[in-house]
Chain A
Amino acid sequence: MNYLTLIMAIPLLGAALIATLPQSKSLLAKQFALGTTLIAAVATIFMTTKFERSNTALQFVESYDWIKAFGIKYAVGVDGIALVLILMTALLTPIVVLAGWNESEGGRWSTKTFYILILVLQTMSFGVFAATDVFLFYVFFEAMLVPVYFLIGGYGSGERSAAAVKFLLYSLFGGLLMLASIIALYVLSGEQGGHTFDIEALSQLEMSSTTQNLLFLGFFIAFAIKAPLFPFHTWLPDAAKSATPGTSVLLLGVLDKVGTFGMIRYCLSIFPEASKTFTPLIITLSVISILYGAFLAIGAKDIKRLIAYTSISHFGFITLGIFAMTTQAQSGATLYMFNHGFSTAALFLVAGWMISRRGSSTIADFGGLQRVTPVMAWSFFIAGMSSLALPGLSSFVSEFLVLVGTFTRYPVAAVIATFGIVLAALYILIPVQRALHGPTEPGNENLKDLNLREKIAIAPVIAVIVVLGFYPSPALNIINPAAAQVVSQMGFTDPLPTHGGK
C-alpha cells in the first residue's frame, strides 16, 4: 500500500476499533485515539523522509478507477505544499487529543463518539490535501463538514448548535458553488477528449475567458469562505468561540487551510488567466482582511473570538502571498499555513486551559496569571509572540517572506499590509498585559498551573515554533521547489529588485 493511503487508513481503522469499545470505557477510547494519532504522525514523518525534495512532480502517486462512468478516480499524490500541510495535520492531531483529554466530557454524546469524529476528520483532512482528482477532493471537502459540525454542535459550549449550523450553511453554500464549477469542468473535459477530473488534464482545458472567470469564482468563493477571507468570515468567530479548544485548533489550524491550499492547487492551476484577472481584487480583499481582522481582534473581549480574529488577519497574509505570484511570497504563504497551524494551536490550547480553570472566557476576568500559573502564562506569552511574528519565532520567517515577495510586485499592498504587524503587536500585547500581568484578579488566586499531561502537549508545539524560527530550512527546502513550480506554471518570473544589491 502506498504511504498516502496508509496514513489515511490508520485513523479510520482506529475509529473502527474505538467504535467496538463499550460505552463505559472512555479512558480506553482516549488512549486508543492518542495511540492511533501517534502512529499516524510517525507514519507521516517517515513518509516525509522519503519525499524527494528536488523533484517537483507529484509524489507517492496512486490512482484507481472509482466511478468509471464519470471518469472519477481515487487519485492521490503530494507536492511539497500538500506534504507540509499533511505533516502539520498529522502532528497537530495527537497534540489536540492529548491537550483536550477531558474536552469530550461536557458533550451531548459519549467520549467514544468524540474520538471517532476526530479520527474520521483526520482521515478526511489527509484526503483533502492528498487528492489529485477534483471530484475526490470535493467529496472530502464536503464530507469533512459533517464531523466538524457534530464536534462543534455536540461538544462545544454556549450557543454551540447555532454556531455549528452557521458554519455548516456557509460551507455548504460555498461547496455548492464549487460543485456547479466542477460540473462545468466535467462537461468541458468531456467535450475536449473525454471526461476526467484529473487536475493536470483539467489545467490543459481550453476555456473562453468568461467561462474561466465564472468557474474560477465558483471555486474561489468556496475557498474564501473556508479560509476565511473578508467578507466571508463572519462564521468563524462564532464557530471558534463555541467549539472546544481542540476542535478550534483543528478548525482553524487544519480545515481553514483547505481554503488557502485549494486556492493554490485548484484556482491557480486550473484557471491561470482568471487568477490573474482577479488578482487585484483578491489582493485588496486580503489587505482588508489583514487590517480588519486585526482591528476586530483589538476590540475583542472574548479570548477565543480574539484568536479567531487574529486568524482572519493571518489568512489575509496567506492569501496575499498566494496571489502575489512570486516564489518568495508563495513559499512564505505555505510556510505561513504551517506556522499558523502551530501558533494558533498553542494559543487555543493554552487559552482553553485558562478558560476551563477560570470558568470564563472574558479577557477582563483574568489578570496576574504570571504569578499564579507561571508555566501557563509563559506558554501563552510565547504563543502570542509567535502570533505577532516576533523575530526568532517561526511566524516571523513566513510573514517576512510574504511581505518581501509581495513588495517586489505589489509595493502598495505590501506597505499597507505591514501595518498589520503593528496592529498585531497591539492585539497580542493588550491581552497579554491584561491577562498575565498586573494585579491578580480576585478569583484567580488559586488557579492551578499546567499539569504534566498539558506540559507534554504544549512542549512540542512550542518547540516547533522556536526551532522553525531559527532554522526554517527543513520546511522551506520541501516547500520552495513546489512553490517555484506553481509560480512558473502561471507564467511568472520573479521580478528583479530594481533598487537592489550593489
Chain B
Amino acid sequence: MSEFISPTLSYSLLSPILVVFAGAIIGVLIEAFASKSIRPIAQVSVSIGTLVLALVQVWRIRSSSSTTAAMGSVIIDGPGLLLQGSILIISIIAVFLIADTENFAAAPAAIPGSSEERESIARGQQVSEVFPLTLFAVAGMLIFPVASDLITLFVALEVLSLPLYLMAGLSRRRRLLSQESALKYFLLGAFSSAFFLFGAAYLYGYSGSISFAGIRDAVVGGTGNDVFLLIGIAFLSIGLLFKVGAVPFHAWTPDVYQGAPTPVTAFMAAATKVAAFGAMLRIYYSVFANAEWSWRPLITGIAIITMVFGSLVAISQRDVKRMLAYSSIAHAGFLLTGVIALNKAGLDASIYYLFAYGIASVGAFAVVTLVRDSAGEVTDLNRWAGLGKRSPWVATSFATFLLAFAGIPLTSGFIGKFSIFSAAYESGATAVVIAGVLSSAIAAFFYIRVIVLMFFSDPLEDATSVLIPSILTRITVLFSVVVTIFLGVFPSPLLDFISNIAIFIR
C-alpha cells in the first residue's frame, strides 16, 4: 500500500471547468426549489452567466500552461484553452437558442400522447432541466480536450455524452422521432464507449501506464508489444471517431440531428465536434505521434471516405436537418485532414476551422428553428422554396452559412479549408487534399441547390412562415453571420492569436 497523497489542485487553472460544474449544480437546485414563475428566467440567466464567467476565466489564464493542474490528469496549455474558449463561445450562442423553451417537451418523462402529458400541458407545467444538462455537457466538453490520462478522458467523454443522450429526446414535437433518436444515440454511444474502454485497457497493457506521458514514453521507447499498441490505438480511435461522426461510425448522425430539438442539434453539432477533435488532436499529435506509421494511413483512408461519402449522400437529402447532418459528416472528413497533417500548421488550422465551422453551424441551425408552420418547424426542403422572397434576411443569413460551408472566398469556411488543406499538403498527404477538393466541389452542389430553392423558386401555396425571431435568437444569427464574414475577410488577428499560443506541452 502506498501512502495516501492528498491531491493538490490548481484551482485557478481549473476554474473554467469548476465554474461550469457549479453553474450546473445551481441549475439543478433551481429546477428543484425555485417557483414555476421565476424558473425559466433564472435558468437562462444562470446558464449564460456561468458560461460567460467561465469564458472570462479562460481569457484570464490564456497564456498559462501546466501539466500539474490536477495531479497530472489535466494539461492546461494553449490548444486546450483555445478549444475551451471555442466551446464556451459556441455554447453561449447555443444557449440563446435553447432559451426558446417552445421547442422542448413540457414533461419529457411522460409517454408521448399519454394522459400525464396532456395533464402537464394543460396545467402549463414546463420543466427546464435542459439548462443544467447543457451545463453538465459543457463541463465534460471542457475537460475532454485537456484530459491527459485515459481515465479522465473516459470520464469526460461520459460526462459530455450522457446529458446529450437525454437532450436529444426532449423535442416537443415529433416526440417519438425524438425519443427514437435519443435511444439510438445512447445505444450506439454506449457501444462506442465500450470500444474506447477496451482500447484504453490495451494501451495500459502495452505501456503499463494510463497517463498520456507514460504511453508516449512507451511509444517512443518502442519496447512494448506492438500488437497491444495497434489494438489500443484502433479501439480508442473508434470511440473518438464515433463522437465526431466519421464514416463508418456516422450512422447515428442523421437520425439524431433530425430527431433532437433543433437548438440541441445546434449545440451538439458544433460543441461536440470541437471537444472531440480537441481530444483527438492532443492524442494523435502528442501521444501517438511517434507511431504515425500505424494510424496515419488508416485515418487518411477514413478521412477520404468520410468527406466523399458525406458529400455524396447529402445530395439526395430532402430534409434540411438531415442535409446539415451529412454536411457535418463531410466536414468531419475535412477536419481529419488536420489530424493527418501532424504539424504545427495543421494544429493551428484545425483550431481555426473548428471555431469557424462551429459558429456557422450554430447559425445555420438557428435559422432552421425559425422556419415554421402551425405544426412546428418545417424541415422539408421543398417547403423552403421561395424563402428568400418572404423573409430575405433569414434566407440571406442561411445562404451565408451555406457559402461558408461550401468554402467560398470571403467567408470563414474558405480560410479554414485553405489552411487545413495546405497544412495537409505540406505534410505530404496529397491524396487527402485532392479528395478534399473534389468533395468540396460535390458539396458545393447541394449547398447551392438550397440557395436556388430559397431564392429562385416560387413559394408553395402553404402556410410555411418565418417566426419573428426572439431577441436571443436574433443575436445568435447576427453574431454568427458577422463572425463568419469577419473571419473570411480579416482572419489575421485570430490566426495570429492561435498560432502564437497553440503549442502542445507534454
Contacts and interface: CB of A to CB of B under 8 A. Distances in A.
Interface stretch (B59-67, B74-82, B407-415): B407-415
B444 A161 contact: no
A153 interface: yes
Interface stretch (A142-150, A297-305, A365-373, A426-434): A142-150
Given A69-B492, A154-B455, A165-B452, A139 B499 contact: no
A65 B419 CA distance: 17
A158 interface: no
B409 A190 contact: no
B409 A180 contact: no
B471 to A, nearest CB: 24
A150 B415 CA distance: 23
Given A67-B491, A108-B389, A154-B456, A176 B449 contact: no
A194 B496 CA distance: 17
B437 A176 contact: yes
A160 interface: yes
Contacts of A139: 409-410, 414
A187 interface: yes
Interface in A155-207: 160-161, 164-165, 168-169, 172-173, 176-177, 179-180, 183-184, 186-187, 190
B456 A70 contact: no
A65 B495 CA distance: 14
A500 B406 CA distance: 56
A108 B426 contact: no
Interface in A33-71: 65-70
Contact of B455 (A108, A169, A190): A108
A295 interface: no
B445 interface: yes
A161 B425 contact: no
Contact of A143 (B408, B419, B499): B408
A407 interface: no
A68 B496 contact: yes
Given A67-B491, A180-B433, A183-B421, A164 B456 contact: yes
A70 B419 contact: yes
A66 B389 CA distance: 36
Nearest to B422: A183
Contact of A173 (B348, B415, B441): B441
A378 interface: no
Contacts of B188: none
A178 to B, nearest CB: 10
A176 B425 contact: no
B79 to A, nearest CB: 16
A101 interface: no
B101 interface: no
A121 to B, nearest CB: 14
B437 A67 contact: no
A258 to B, nearest CB: 14
A67 B452 contact: no
B418 interface: yes
Nearest to A152: B456
A224 B17 CA distance: 55
A400 interface: no
B457 A179 contact: no
The interface size bin for chain A is 35 or more
Contacts, number: 88
Contact of B496 (A69, A169, A180, A187): A69
B452 A161 contact: yes
A32 interface: no
B425 A67 contact: no
A138 B409 contact: yes
Interface string B468-506: 000000000000000000000001100110010000000
A138 B392 CA distance: 28
A389 to B, nearest CB: 37
A66 B415 CA distance: 12
Interface string B411-436: 00011001101100110000001100
Contact of A66 (B426, B438, B444, B492): B492
Q: Which of A69, A150, A154, A187 has the most CB of B within 10 A?
A: A69
B460 interface: no
Contacts of A138: 409
B409 A142 contact: yes
B422 A186 contact: yes
Given A143-B409, A187-B426, A179 B452 contact: no
Given A67-B491, A142-B409, A165 B449 contact: yes
A153 B455 contact: yes
Nearest to A186: B422
B272 interface: no
B429 to A, nearest CB: 11
B499 A108 contact: no
B220 interface: no
A168 B399 CA distance: 15
A69 B499 contact: yes
Given A176-B437, A183-B418, A69 B444 contact: no
B422 A169 contact: no
Contacts of B155: none
A180 B437 contact: yes
B75 to A, nearest CB: 25
Contacts of B419: 70
Contacts of B392: 109
B495 to A, nearest CB: 4
B452 A184 contact: no
12 contacts: A68-B495, A69-B499, A70-B495, A108-B389, A143-B410, A145-B408, A160-B456, A169-B441, A169-B444, A180-B421, A183-B433, A187-B426
Given A153-B456, A183-B433, 13 more contacts: A65-B492, A66-B492, A69-B499, A139-B414, A140-B409, A142-B408, A154-B456, A180-B421, A183-B418, A183-B422, A184-B425, A186-B422, A190-B426
**Interface pairs A-B: 8 shortest CB-CB:** A161-B456, A139-B409, A69-B495, A180-B437, A142-B409, A183-B422, A153-B456, A187-B426
Interface of B: 348, 388-389, 392, 403, 406, 408-410, 414-415, 418-419, 421-422, 425-426, 433-434, 437-438, 440-441, 444-445, 448-449, 452, 455-457, 491-492, 495-496, 499
